[in-house]
Amino acid sequence: MAGDEIDAGELTSSGTFQDHYILGPHLGSGSFGLVYKCFLKTDPTRAFAVKTIKKTDSLSEEDIQSVYREIKILRCLESVNHVVQLKDFFDDKSYYMIVLELCQGGELFYRIINKTRYTEKDAAKIVREMLEVVGACHVKGVIHRDLKPENFLFSTEHECSELKIVDFGLSTFYTAGQVFDSLCGTPFYLAPEVLHKKYGSQSDVWSVGVIMFILLSGKPPFYGRANTKIFKMILRSQRHLEKHFETAVWSKVSAEAKDLIRCLLNPDPKIRFTPAQALAHPWVRADGCPPDMPLDITLLSKMREFREYSKVTKVVLRNLALTYSDEDIRDIREQFILMDKDNTGTISVEELLEAMQRASGPFGTNSKSRALSRREAQEWLKGMDYNGDGEIDYLEFTTAALRIRQRKKRDSIGWDHRIKLAFGRIDHDGNGYIDIAELRRELEAMGQEPGGIEEIVEQYDRNGDGYIDFSEFSELIRRLSSEASQAAPEGSIDRMDTG
């Protein structure tokens, strides 16, 4: 058995978790299992985090090995700076319980978006700590394989708090030159060689480069609603990266910062900087001088949107769409599929223009209408593109089409009633409010990470009562739908015969 690989006596206290700790509130989810706050029974003022993995029939032998591998890795990284520390481990009949140091300073992004002033110097300190801990892990023979902002927490709420890396559930030991072929990690942060299933420790450096890019611009460099879209961009990373650097937000970022990003995001892992090389770069060195001027004022709002907006948008739009039957939206679905020529799950400006040209051409369904110019197509797409990734996904397209249909009085059920139906789908207990538990349930049902729910509710809770009431929900859904539908040229969705 996998459990026999470790001497449990070295890792666990005698007895069970309940003998030593009091289970507290839910904190979030890791790569495997749920994370809770817990308190030491002998001294309840001492709090920790406990990662729980339930022993079910669906837990494979490989999953079990991963649990014990994580424990071994945490033991190996004891006393390493910027690594969350293992406190205890229990293996009982029903659960694996991993007790860890509690980081109370919050997620990396949450700390940043609540700052009143944010500079390159602030970002450089964060990147330096990331590179230090990644380098230390590599020296110990550990590759993390899932580096992302959510896996970096601040130890305390103090302004100068230490940044800690957490969740080693996908990590593994490696030897110099070892090559891995398992696809694991989070799409936005995957290196090209991971997609090719031939990678080593340098894939961690790429992930740090992606995080650095977000820290300086508010959005990831390779973005898409569908994984296939993200992967295509990653595999063409150099072209996309240089296009990003030509945009307005990057005009205020120093040349040194851009140079380091290029070195971290080099598609060739043999040329890509190692952690040690990156730490010697003038932008990130402790004695370096990254600019201390505030970055673009839109950066923090973009970062906040990237972190939170997509979650609540998906919940809202999904439940709005579910108030319609399959037959109600069959034509919209077929239209979207036909427009999405490259089958990425999104519609680009080029695909939008092509569809509109077919509709308005001499043999189109609306030959008397004028074809869209590229500028008009871009403006329409921008209005439907909630998070600014430059393309339209199915939910965005459906919402715009349905809102236009409502404006033209083609729906037998009024828009206000649709909103009530969508609200009722989320308000499971029918008390007239959407609370944290209900939003978490929706996100989990969609296979979404439920972390950060409290901040999501706070963002849309206008009256500060801790809930999203119907008026607040209506305001949100009207804004989403009106942004999309008002951007569309008159009659445009109606006239698109994409066959």
∠ CA 156-153-467 to the nearest 5 degrees? 90
What pTM did the predictor assign?
Answer: 0.62
pLDDT digits (tens, 9 = 90+) for 124-163: 999 999 999 999 999 999 999 999 988 899 998 888 889 9
Are 306 and 387 contacting, i.e. CB atoms less than 8 angstroms apart?
Answer: yes
Q: What is the pLDDT of residue 48?
A: 95
| 461 catalytic per annotation | no
Nearest to 174 by CA among 63, 60, 69, 67: 69
Q: What is the pLDDT of residue 376?
A: 62
Name the token pair of 231: 């992967």
Q: Which domains does the chain have, with CATH numbers?
A: 2-101 (3.30.200.20), 108-297 (1.10.510.10), 308-495 (1.10.238.10)
Furthest C-alpha separation in the chain? 82
Q: What residues does 43 pair with on adjacent strands?
A: 40
The amino acid at residue 288 is: G
Nearest to 130 by CA among 142, 115, 148, 113: 148
The amino acid at residue 393 is: D
Q: CA of 215: how far to CAs of 59, 94, 124, 302, 414, in Å?
A: 36, 41, 9, 10, 43
Whole-number Å distance between alpha carbons of 156 and 162: 7
Name the token pair of 379: 């403006």
Angle 415-426/436-445 helices, nearest 10 degrees? 90
* Catalytic choice (122, 146, 385, 427): 146
Binding-site residue ranges: 55
Burial 428-459 (b: 16+ CB within 10 A, else e): eeeeebbbbebbbebbeeeeeebbbbebbbeb
Binding-site residue ranges for ATP: 55
Name the token pair of 260: 């380091």
Burial 328-358 (b: 16+ CB within 10 A, else e): ebeebeebbeebbeeebbbbbbebbbbbbeb
Three-class SS state of 175: coil
Q: What is the pLDDT of residue 366?
A: 43
DSSP string, 193-257: HHHTT-B-THHHHHHHHHHHHHHHHSS-SS--SSHHHHHHHHHTHHHHHHHHHTSGGGGGS-HHH
Q: What is the pLDDT of residue 367?
A: 40
Nearest to 144 by CA among 198, 86, 203: 203
The amino acid at residue 291 is: P
Give kind and range of the element (H or E) at residue 473: helix 470-487
Name the token pair of 448: 């979404």
If the chain, 499 residues long, is cut into consecutive pieces of 10 residues, what is the mean pLDDT of each piece? 42 76 81 80 93 77 86 93 94 90 86 74 93 96 93 88 90 93 88 95 97 90 76 88 87 92 96 96 83 61 56 73 78 83 76 70 41 61 59 76 62 73 90 87 68 66 83 76 46 41
pLDDT digits (tens, 9 = 90+) for 286-303: 777 776 666 655 555 555
